[in-house]
Amino acid sequence: MYKIMVSAALVAVITFNGMAQTTTTTTTKKKTKPKKSLINNVVSSTVSAIAPANSSALTTGDISSGLKEALQIGATNAAKQLGAENGFFGNAALKILMPPEAQKIEKKLREYGMGSQVDDAILSMNRAAENASQSAAPIFINAIKGMSITDAVNILKGTDTAATGYLREKTTTDLTTAFKPVIQESLDKVDATSKWATIVNLYNEIPFIKKINPDLAGYVTDKALSGMFLSVAEQEKKIRKDPLAQTTDILKKVFGK
């Protein structure tokens, strides 16, 4: 369709040029060229027809503001969802299970009729992640402020989760440092630490096995952050593609079609 429109514009210019030359031949031997302003108007109108409707009004400042607002909304929504009861535990994709290196603990304890203790420990880990998500969200959102205009422009041209990917790359280390103490406090608050210690001690008392004691807080921290990034990515996709998710003027301006 775009090629047809451009071709039409060129035909109009060529036709005008031919008419001008024919008229000149019948009246005078001196050739005259069509006015540049008329040609420019034809070409300009054609380019405008194939260009995005909001491209001329979109500035780099708009892009930066739009991306930051999208991430802030995404992080806030993710924190709200994950911070609610069963935000992790009730979500099959995000539910925190036993650490891989501790799965043999779970298997052996269930064999010994201690499945309820294992279930309590798993529930406690998820409750810790849910509790931490409520208080750690502001730390996560503050990291968005470091995004430059150049970063924002590149992100806008990227995939539908480019902003979340940028955030993960730039802030994971700092967020982990800030997030882990909150996770540890949350684990203590819901008594997950003692429940974990209980099942580890029960396991370690089984004869002829290798003792094990994985870092529970570090494991839950990694899983909680992964869950939050995944949720933010889902929010970003919605904002980019769904007009109903573009709830502010700047989001409509940057992401609206």
Per-residue model confidence as pLDDT tens digits over 194-225: 877 887 787 778 777 777 666 788 889 999 98
User: Is 144 in the same domain as 43?
Assistant: no
Q: What is the pTM of this model?
A: 0.66
User: Is 77 in the same domain as 23?
Assistant: no
How crowded is the C-beta side of 54, counted as CA atoms within 13 Å? 14
Q: Cα separation of 144 and 163, whole Å?
A: 10
Look up residue 217 and give its two tokens.
């807080």
Q: Which residues contact 106 (CB under 8 A, 6 or more apart)?
A: 98, 118
Write the pLDDT tens digit of every residue in 84-121. Answer: 999 999 999 999 998 876 787 788 888 888 888 888 88
pLDDT at 219: 87
Within a domain: residue 225? yes
Mean pLDDT over residues 128-132, rounded?
A: 86
User: Is 146 in the same domain as 180?
Assistant: yes
User: Is 229 in the same domain as 135?
Assistant: yes
Within a domain: residue 55? no
Look up residue 135 and give its two tokens.
């208080």
Burial 73-112 (b: 16+ CB within 10 A, else e): bbbbbbbebbbeeebbbebeebbbebbeebeebbeebeee
Within a domain: residue 8? yes
User: Is 198 in the same domain as 248?
Assistant: yes
Within a domain: residue 216? yes
User: Is 34 in the same domain as 80?
Assistant: no
Write the pLDDT tens digit of every residue in 18-54. Answer: 444 443 444 444 444 444 444 344 333 333 333 344 4
Tell me the CA distances in angstroms from 141 to 38, 73, 88, 136, 199, one per residue in order: 52, 9, 20, 9, 36
Within a domain: residue 23? yes
User: Is 32 in the same domain as 107?
Assistant: no
User: Is 22 in the same domain as 98?
Assistant: no
User: Is 133 in the same domain as 172?
Assistant: yes
Question: Contact, 219 vs 176, CB < 8 A?
Answer: no
User: Which residues constitute the domain of residue 160?
Assistant: 60-255
| Closest-CA residue to 225 (of 177, 160, 155, 159) | 177
User: Is 37 in the same domain as 99?
Assistant: no
Q: Cα separation of 1 and 15, whole Å?
A: 21
Which H or E run includes 16?
Answer: helix 2-27
Number of domains observed in the structure of the chain:
2
Query: At which of 50, 71, 88 does a domain end?
Result: 50
pLDDT at 213: 66
User: Is 20 in the same domain as 92?
Assistant: no
Within a domain: residue 125? yes
